Amino acid sequence: MTSPNSAGPAARAYSLDVLIRIAAPLFTALSEGQLRATMPVETTPDSADRPTYTHLEALGRLLAGVAPWLELGPDATEEGKLRERFIGLAVKGISHAVDPQSPDYMNFSQGSQPLVDTSFLAHGLLRAPKQLWGNLDKETRARVVAAFKMTRVMTPGQNNWLLFSAMVEAALWEFTGECEMAPIETAVDKHLEWYVGDGAYGDGPHYHWDYYNSFVIQPMLLDVLRICAEKKHSLGAHYLLVLERARRYAAVQERLISPEATFPIMGRSSCYRFGAIQTLSQMALEHRLPNGLSPGGVRAALTAMIRRMIEASGTFDAEGWLRLGVVGHQPAQAEHYISTGSLYLCAVGLLHLGLPPSDPFWTEPDQPWTQKRLWAGENLPADHAIGN
């Protein structure tokens, strides 16, 4: 049995092992220009076009999750040396992805799906400005900027897709000093309009019972507004309001984790697995956990839940690539837009690895999470909604 003093380091070691297990096949292949040659593309029967998009999906989504850990940078520890290796793989991989002469040059211009995954790539670069963007050479940076601008011809739907255009422009603003403000203004204005209360936004004018508030809406809206605030734009005045809503949504997410470390599987895109708890992970990363939640309790909940999902039989194929499913291999759970590359959005459920090993998140003793405490009979204060 793990002792209280070792529970946090053991959880970090396990979580890091999960991240490396997910990331190693993809980053290794892409760094060698062999991603198209080696990554299997599992799809549903009605999704013949997905191989056109799946490689950019894989890269963008994985980077969005692994970036905070990479941003800790190299050091003399074993983990620091591992980060150094993966920073190198990621930087080489990005260079192949945007090089028209590479066999792994990715699709940034055909169809509308590239807008989605260019935005995840942008989010990843924003989450690791020193170790990812900062290590790209001048030519690769210019190619990344050109790839981002290719997506400007793609018209987003009136839903969470507005944030994809906003995220790309926010990254251009951050890295080049210039952007088109209209997509950012539209995305922010519309999502403020679509707020339905108690920490949740509609996906467009209507609310959906799914996890898109966590897959996309809350994290991207927060980070776009953070950049607006840093740039002294008037939209930045909304940041603190949106942050308090995200903290409430994170509190709800923590309460959805059952005593058995499961959470309700419902709505679209369940195959993104523990990417569904990105907002809770991000609030932990930013030291913004809701009042009443301890770092040790949230860590225990996240680690147990990730373990339940990642160790389900059939999650990976024989070569270590993710397979369609939620708890193991369940291809019937995949929508027509889901393919192998899509699945790497699970990595955003590991943002908290961006906290250093010395952080209280990793050093506090394990504690039971909310549902464990309640179902054990503990007399906890009642939950309450927040105002608008």
Q: How far apart are CA 252 and CA 264, in angstroms?
A: 12
Q: How far apart are CA 148 and CA 119, in angstroms?
A: 8
pLDDT at 387: 85
Stretch 322-334: mean pLDDT: 97
**What are the angstrom distances between the C-alpha of 99 and each of 7, 87, 154, 253, 285?**
44, 18, 21, 40, 33
First to last CA, the chain: 45
How does residue 4 score in pLDDT terms, banded at 50, 70 and 90?
A: very low
pLDDT per position as a tens digit, 160-192? 999 999 999 999 999 999 999 999 999 999 999
Least confident of 43-52, 158-167, 336-345: 43-52
Asked whether residue 1 carries a pLDDT value surpassing 60, the answer given is no
* High-pLDDT (> 90) share of the chain, %: 96
User: pTM for this structure?
Assistant: 0.96
- CATH topology for 4-375 is Glycosyltransferase (1.50.10)
Find, among 126, 180, 173, the residue nearest to 153 by Cα. Answer: 180
pLDDT at 159: 97
Q: How far apart are CA 113 and CA 52, in angstroms?
A: 9
Q: How far apart are CA 11 and CA 4, in angstroms?
A: 11
Helix (H, G, I), strand (E, B) or coil at 316: strand
Q: How many CA atoms lie within 13 A of 344 on its CB side?
A: 33
Asked whether residue 268 carries a pLDDT value surpassing 70, the answer given is yes
pLDDT per position as a tens digit, 295-310? 999 999 999 999 999 9
pLDDT at 6: 73
Asked whether residue 335 carries a pLDDT value surpassing 60, the answer given is yes
pLDDT per position as a tens digit, 226-265? 999 999 999 999 999 999 999 999 999 999 999 999 999 9
pLDDT at 5: 58
